């Protein structure tokens, strides 16, 4: 959601009127068999644009703005109220769903995360520099941990899962094992 709002912010030439930006926004998540989860922003599928470098470089800034956070948290809570859901995000376990049955705080080394992003960018045809990605990830982590509104932190009751060196399948299996233990 924050990436979609950042995409809109960039399309609006970096407007600083964040209240107006969210007031004039419709945002939905859909599922397409051929594509998986899709993000629909103002009736346009913007999924393919959300991982581009420009969005990545600005998402922490946009996400730190109160109107943006309020809009996204409200929308995320609405989605969670509809049915059982799996969500990921930097404040899901502490702000959006503090009473979730299971909270997994996933970590990985900066090197690992940069490698994943680099490979993902290659698959999407996005040119990127590995060292720049590492710096961007470190900077985003610092920014998000120190932001005034809803800083990045582990929920007290979250389980830490270090995903460094693990495949998506391995991580999924570990989380499913945790889910199976919920009574």
> Which of 50, 84, 118 is where one domain is finished?
84
Looking at the fold, whether 171 and 116 belong to one and the same domain comes out as yes
**Cα angle, residue 142 at apex, residues 12 and 76 outer, rounded to 5°:** 55
Beta partners for 41? 27, 44
Tell me: do 3 and 80 sit in the same domain: yes
Q: C-alpha angle 94/63/124, rounded to 5°?
A: 105
Strands 159-162 and 44-45 come out as unpaired
Both 74 and 92 in a single domain? no
Distance CA 22, CA 136 (A): 26
Give the pLDDT of residue 31.
Answer: 81
Q: Given this model, what pLDDT does residue 15 score?
A: 87
Q: Are residues 57 and 100 in the same domain?
A: no
Domain span at residue 43? 1-84
pTM above 0.85, yes or no: no
What's the CATH number where 155 sits? 3.40.50.300
Count of domains observed in the chain: 2
Residues 40 and 32: their CA atoms lie apart, in Å, by 12
Q: In terms of domains, do 90 and 180 share one?
A: yes
What pLDDT is recorded for position 179?
95
Cβ-contact 72, 5 below 8 angstroms? yes
Based on the domain organization, do 143 and 177 belong to the same domain?
yes
Q: From the CA atom positions of the chain, what is the Rg in Å?
A: 17
SS3 content of the chain, % helix, strand, coil (to 5): 55, 10, 35
Residues 38 and 123 in one domain: no
* pLDDT (0 to 100) of residue 29: 86
Final residue belonging to a domain, choices 22, 57, 84: 84
Answer yes or no: are the C-beta atoms of 4 and 41 closer than 8 Å: yes
pLDDT along the chain (183 residues), means of 10: 94 92 92 85 93 90 94 92 85 93 96 95 90 94 90 94 97 97 85
Beta bridge partners of 31: 37
Contact by Cβ (8 Å): 59, 2: yes
Backbone angles phi, psi at 96, to 5 degrees: -75, -50
pLDDT at residue 32 in the model: 82
Amino acid 82: pLDDT: 82
Look at residue 84 in the predicted model and tell me its pLDDT. 79
The pLDDT of residue 89 is 87
């Amino acid at each position: 959601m924050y990436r979609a709002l950042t995409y809109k912010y960039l399309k609006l030439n970096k407007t600083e009127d964040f209240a107006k930006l969210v007031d004039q926004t419709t945002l939905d998540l859909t599922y397409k068999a051929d594509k998986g989860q899709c993000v629909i922003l103002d009736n346009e599928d913007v999924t393919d644009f959300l991982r581009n470098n420009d969005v990545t470089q600005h998402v922490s800034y946009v996400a730190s703005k109160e109107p943006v956070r309020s809009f996204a948290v409200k929308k995320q809570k609405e989605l969670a109220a509809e049915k059982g859901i799996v969500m990921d995000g930097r404040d899901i376990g502490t702000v959006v769903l503090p009473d979730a049955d299971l909270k997994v705080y996933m970590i990985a080394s900066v090197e690992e995360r940069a490698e994943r992003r680099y490979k993902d960018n290659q698959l999407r045809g996005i040119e990127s520099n590995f060292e720049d990605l590492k710096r961007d990830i470190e900077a985003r982590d610092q920014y998000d941990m120190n932001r005034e509104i809803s800083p990045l932190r582990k929920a007290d009751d979250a389980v830490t899962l270090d995903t460094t060196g693990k495949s998506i399948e391995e991580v999924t299996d570990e989380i499913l094992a945790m889910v199976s233990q919920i009574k």
